[in-house]
Amino acid sequence: MRLFEILLLLTSAGLLAIKMFCKKNNGMPLFIASITGTLLLIIHLIVEGYRIQLLFPYCITIAFLTVSVLALFDKTAAWKMPRFLSITLFSAGTASLLLTGALMYVFPVFQLPEPTGSLKVGTQTFHFVDEGRKEIFGDAPGGKRELMVQVWYPAQNTKGKPLPFISDADKVLKEEPVSKTFGIPTMFVEYMKNISSHSYENAEISGFSPSYPLIILNHGYSSSKIYHTSQAENLASHGYIVASIDHTYSTSATVFPDGRTTTMKTDEDLIGEKQYRNKVGKVWTDDITFTLDQLERINSGEIPSEFNGKIDLGRVGVFGHSFGGAASYDAAYDPRITAGIDLDGSLYLYDKKPLSKPFMFMFSEMGFDLFNKVREHYVYTDEELKEKGVTKEEIEKDIKGAETQVGHLEHVAKNGGQILYIENTEHYNLADLQFLTPLFQQFKLTGKISPARSAAIVNAYTLDFFDKYLKHKGGSLLDAPSGEYPEVKYLTSKFAEERP
Q: Could you please report the per-residue DSSP string of 278-339?
A: HHHHHHHHHHHHHHHHHHHHHHHTSS--TTTTTEEEEEEEEEEETHHHHHHHHHTTSTT--E
Domain contains 400? yes
Whether 69 and 204 map to the same domain: the answer is no
Domain contains 115? no
Query: Can you give the CATH number for the domain in which 257 is found?
Result: 3.40.50.1820
Predicted local distance difference test score (pLDDT) of residue 397: 81
Choosing from 84, 106, 128, the residue where a domain stops is 106
Contact yes or no for 492/411 (Cβ under 8 A): no
Taking only Cα atoms into account, the Rg of the chain, rounded to an integer number of angstroms, comes to 26
Distance CA 436, CA 182 (A): 12
Predicted local distance difference test score (pLDDT) of residue 11: 93
Choosing from 80, 106, 132, the residue where a domain stops is 106
Whether 82 and 212 map to the same domain: the answer is no
Strands 241-246 and 120-134: unpaired
Distances (CA, A) of 76 to 32, 64, 80, 204, 223: 19, 17, 10, 66, 60
Whether 63 and 206 map to the same domain: the answer is no
Domain contains 142? yes
Count how many domains the chain has: 2
The helix/strand/coil state of 234 is helix
Query: Residue 78: which of 134, 23, 159, 121 has the closest Cα?
Result: 23
Whether 54 and 154 map to the same domain: the answer is no
Predicted local distance difference test score (pLDDT) of residue 244: 98
Choosing from 106, 132, 165, the residue where a domain stops is 106
Whether 96 and 133 map to the same domain: the answer is no
Q: What are phi and psi of 256, to 5 degrees?
A: -95, 160
Whether 81 and 191 map to the same domain: the answer is no
Domain contains 113? no
Query: Residue 495: which of 375, 340, 356 has the closest Cα?
Result: 375
Query: Residue 182: which of 385, 472, 445, 394 has the closest Cα?
Result: 445
Distance CA 78, CA 400 (A): 78
Distance CA 117, CA 239 (A): 8
The helix/strand/coil state of 50 is coil
Whether 45 and 171 map to the same domain: the answer is no
Distance CA 28, CA 22 (A): 11
Kind and range of the H or E element at 123? strand 120-134
**Would residue 409 be called left, alpha or beta, if left means φ above 0 and alpha means ψ between -120 and 50 degrees?**
alpha
Whether 294 and 185 map to the same domain: the answer is yes
Domain contains 203? yes
Query: Residue 121: which of 213, 225, 219, 235 has the closest Cα?
Result: 235
Predicted local distance difference test score (pLDDT) of residue 138: 87
Domain contains 171? yes
Domain contains 175? yes
Q: What pLDDT digit, counting tens, does each position of 438-466 carry?
A: 989 998 999 999 999 999 999 999 999 99
Whether 254 and 135 map to the same domain: the answer is yes
Whether 102 and 125 map to the same domain: the answer is no
Whether 343 and 388 map to the same domain: the answer is yes
Whether 32 and 176 map to the same domain: the answer is no
- Count CB atoms within 10 A of the CB of residue 265: 14
Contact yes or no for 427/344 (Cβ under 8 A): yes
Query: Residue 342: which of 431, 449, 261 has the closest Cα?
Result: 431
CA dihedral sign of residues 380, 382, 388, 393: positive
- 448 burial class (0-12, 13-18, 19+ CB within 10 angstroms)? exposed
Q: Which domain holds residue 219?
A: 120-496
Predicted local distance difference test score (pLDDT) of residue 140: 75
Predicted local distance difference test score (pLDDT) of residue 185: 78
Q: What is the DSSP letter of 161?
A: P
User: Residues in the chain with pLDDT < 50?
Assistant: none
Predicted local distance difference test score (pLDDT) of residue 26: 64
Q: What is the DSSP letter of 164?
A: B
